[in-house]
Structure 1
Amino acid sequence: MDILSAEFFQRALIGGALIAVTAPLMGLFLVLRRLAMIGDTLAHVSIAGVALGFLLGVYPVAMGLVFAVVASFGIEWLRKSYKTYAELSIAIIMSGGIALASVFFTLGMGFNLNVNSYLFGSIYTLDGTDLLVIAAVTVVVLAVVLIHKKEMFLLTFDEDAAAVSGLPVRYFNIMISILTALVISAAIKIVGALLVSALLTLPAAISLALSRSFKQSIIIVVIVGEIAVLSGLWIAGIWNLAPGGTIVLLLIGILILSLTMRRTRV
């Protein structure tokens, strides 16, 4: 139990607890809108920003955030251009993100090891600045969701009806994309860009398997996120495992259990 008293582990728990609220929450909206892969796309674009941040000598997470926000605007623009093939926008932006990341990698051969922490997660290296960024993102996301919960509910389940009722659909689509970009940029140092999509989608999948209403699904998705992240960190700390991978495997285990419970209940 000595690890619980370690300062680096306490920072990891705080950062993990915060991101375990926002990532699953935004992931639920994305899954319900059939945009689950947007998380993976923005994560890859964020890594390109992180790589450029190392090249320019600026805070990598901030540069990753800029890239993710710009990419979110690009996805929304392409979605409008290809209305019948909306998923094409995600594929295009992801391709561009991977291409930029590969170029930046080759331009700075000396920073590859540092970038690895953003690819696979390095929650034990969170510092005060990282925690402030994660806390700020958490406050912004929760505030926006609470203020616009009715509009986001309508937009999530029937975008056409939302537009007919006079809701500024384009504005809210961009807002949701930007919030997702914020969450992903804050989360990549916790679980890594390669696993951040799992933190968005797996709790949502578990929640949809167990809940019977939208309100229930929001409560369950946050509870599941907290249990998985905090338990995963504790298990990884005790057994010296990769925190990001442990959290995701724990989520997969909970998903299997929840699907089994649903079959038994039916």
Structure 2
Amino acid sequence: MIETLKLYLQYPFVRYALIVGVLIALCSSLLGVTLVLKRFSFIGDGLSHVAFGAMAVAAVLNLSDSMLFVLPATVLCAILLLRTGQNTKIKGDAAIAMISVGALAIGYLLMNLFSTSSNLSGDVCSTLFGSTSILTLTKTEVWLCAVLSVIVVITFILFYNKIFAVTFDEGFAQATGVKAGMYNLLIAVIIAVIIVLAMNLVGSLLISALVIFPALSAMRLFKSFRSVTICSAMLSVICALTGILISILAGTPVGSTIVAVDIAAFALFSLLGSLKGGVRFSMIQK
């Protein structure tokens, strides 16, 4: 097995997949705790459907670099989703359902009507569940992912205190002068960027798993916001690496394998948490 891994690691596309997997797992886990605690974790699922619709439009328009269209469109929908969710007539969960289902349906409709591909079902399946091959990542995509990931991590570190305040008590944060709306918008934009980056690895339907599972697993053992965030980031990276290596050796789809490892990690942490007597998570401990 070790010899097989050494052989595969000699190929650039394998190294690209490992680098991108680690970066995406790290970024998604950082904000995963905040989204789970704000009960807005399904924003990842909603925006992933939006990204699928945008990618379908880019394919219909025959854009050479779909990222130039998909990324701005997803970010714009993230802003729209946040604004719509604050509307008293349309609650947050309804806004997510409305935008995500609409984008998914329109995207699939456009691909059926205008796609010139001879394997439409394969293209749709690859986009939704991630490519069955890790040969799809190019050097340009790796560099783009690296740059955007660094920006996400730096942004999270710089605004950590503000994000914590908005997550803990948004009303109190506003009373103390924190511009909660601006930081909620920042969180939504960052999540949109992460989702677009993750589509090539795990597919649009599995992205929310990278956001939710590491955070929930960490909450089984730790009780402070900082310790949960750190544990979530470390666990997410380990699960991504493990999932990619297993997919290389077993020939399984990368995205589904990573999510399966995340599920196994959640089961393990839940068992450890129950043996420990249960941990009561408290955001009072920063």
Q: TM-score, normalised by structure 1?
A: 0.95
Distance in 1 of aligned mates of 2:253 and 2:101: 28
1:114-153 superposed matches below 5 A: 114-122=123-131, 123-153=134-164
| Residue type at the aligned position of 2:31 | M
After superposition, the CA RMSD in angstroms is 1.5
- Runs of 5+ unmatched residues, structure 1: none
Kept in 1: contact 2:21–2:240 (CA 8 A): yes
Q: Report deviation, 1:60.
A: 2.2
Is it true that 1:251 corresponds to 2:262 in the alignment?
yes
| Residue type at the aligned position of 1:80 | Q
Q: After the TM superposition, which segments of 4 or more aligned residues of structure 1 sit over 6 Å from their partners? A: none
Distance in 2 of aligned mates of 1:27 and 1:124: 28
Kept in 2: contact 1:154–1:162 (CA 8 A): yes
- 2:48 is aligned to 43
1:112-191 superposed matches below 5 A: 112=120, 113-122=122-131, 123-191=134-202
Q: Report deviation, 1:4.
A: 1.7
Distance in 2 of aligned mates of 1:16 and 1:216: 22
CA offsets, 1:162-213, max 9 Å, x none?
1111111111111110000000000011111011111111111111112121
Q: Residue 104 of structure 1: which of 104, 110, 118 is its match?
A: 110
Q: Residue 68 of structure 1: which of 65, 71, 74 is its match?
A: 74
- 2:235 is aligned to 224
Q: Could you say if the C-alpha distance between residues 173 and 148 of structure 1 is closer, same or farther in structure 2, counting changes exceeding 3 Å?
A: same
| Higher mean C-alpha deviation, range 75-84 or range 242-251 | 75-84
Is it true that 1:207 corresponds to 2:213 in the alignment?
no
Distance in 2 of aligned mates of 1:82 and 1:177: 19
Distance in 1 of aligned mates of 2:97 and 2:15: 38
The structure whose Rg is larger is: 2
- 1:27 is aligned to 32
CA offsets, 1:137-173, max 9 Å, x none?
2111111111111000000111111111111111111
- 1:3 is aligned to 8
Task: Name the one with the larger helix percent.
Answer: 1
Kept in 1: contact 2:78–2:188 (CA 8 A): yes
Secondary structure class of the residue paired with 2:69: helix
Kept in 2: contact 1:26–1:180 (CA 8 A): yes
Q: Percent identity?
A: 30
Q: Could you say if the C-alpha distance between residues 68 and 28 of structure 1 is closer, same or farther in structure 2, counting changes exceeding 3 Å?
A: same
Distance in 1 of aligned mates of 2:135 and 2:215: 26
Q: Report deviation, 1:89.
A: 1.6
Kept in 2: contact 1:209–1:259 (CA 8 A): yes
Kept in 1: contact 2:84–2:90 (CA 8 A): no
Secondary structure class of the residue paired with 1:104: helix
Distance in 2 of aligned mates of 1:28 and 1:124: 31
Q: Could you say if the C-alpha distance between residues 60 and 117 of structure 1 is closer, same or farther in structure 2, counting changes exceeding 3 Å?
A: farther
Secondary structure class of the residue paired with 2:86: helix
Q: Report deviation, 1:63.
A: 2.1
| Higher mean C-alpha deviation, range 30-39 or range 49-58 | 49-58
Is it true that 1:80 corresponds to 2:91 in the alignment?
no
Secondary structure class of the residue paired with 1:210: coil
CA offsets, 1:65-118, max 9 Å, x none?
122111111111112213783322211211221232123212323243444432
Distance in 2 of aligned mates of 1:120 and 1:129: 22
CA offsets, 1:200-247, max 9 Å, x none?
111111111121211111111111111111011111101111111111
- Runs of 5+ unmatched residues, structure 2: 278-286
Is it true that 1:194 corresponds to 2:205 in the alignment?
yes
